[in-house]
Amino acid sequence: MSFKKLLFKDISEKDMARASSDFISFLRSRRSVREFSERDIPVEVIKNIVSAASLAPSGANKEPWYFTIVKDPAVKHEIRVGAENEEKAFYTQKATARWLKDLNKFGTDWHKEFLEVAPYLIVVFKQIYDLKDGIKYNNYYVNESVGIACGILLTAIHRAGLVALTHTPSPMGFLEKICKRPDNERAYLLIPVGYPADDAEVPDLKKKEFNEFADII
């Protein structure tokens, strides 16, 4: 592999502090949303968002991810049916009483209308191994790599002026079938993307303070 000189722009400590503080303020305004508008979004915006996520670092630069962008109403309906089947089993059979108590404050249940209302669904798949011409190749740090890509994806969605939700119906094997993905891929995350509904509300959350999630030693 050849190498090239790193393109790096040095900025002053003052600008660095301001940029990092501004970024915190920007991310503080990001919220998970369950109430979407049907207002359409240019597909180019969604493609740019996914392209930004694809620039994430990955183990050995294997890029072990695949993104299926769903716009077709029929496919969105099929995904909703699959998700609600799993979610109903979770809420009525699988979840512990403590887990349900923790979820009660968000007012969620197994009904997932947003999967059909949001103009786009982005289904993130992790590639547990690489598959080319029928030959298997190793991928490394797959969960870590795909997790980083999803973080960038959510940030890119927010930067584009849109809202999203990280949805994880479990198990998610139905997504692999609906999206017709190969045997080496597993569904990782289901993300509805769009504008918020005019009357959308979000929980009034309090985030941890710095000394509660980090220290300097």
CA dihedral 49→52→57→60, nearest 10 degrees, is 90
HSE value, Cβ hemisphere, 13 Å, CA-based, for 80? 17
Is the full-model pTM beyond 0.75?
A: yes
**Annotated domain spans of the chain:** 33-196
- Would you state the structure tokens that stand for residue 64, as one six-digit string? 């072990």
- In this predicted structure, the answer to whether residue 110 has a pLDDT above a threshold of 90 is yes
Q: Which fold has domain 33-196?
A: NADH Oxidase (3.40.109)
Cα(111)–Cα(108) distance, integer angstroms: 8
Average pLDDT of span 125-141 = 95
Residue 133 binned pLDDT confidence (cut-offs 50, 70, 90): confident
The conformation of residue 119, written as its DSSP 8-state character, comes to S
- Angle, CA of 149, 43 and 68, to the nearest 5°: 45
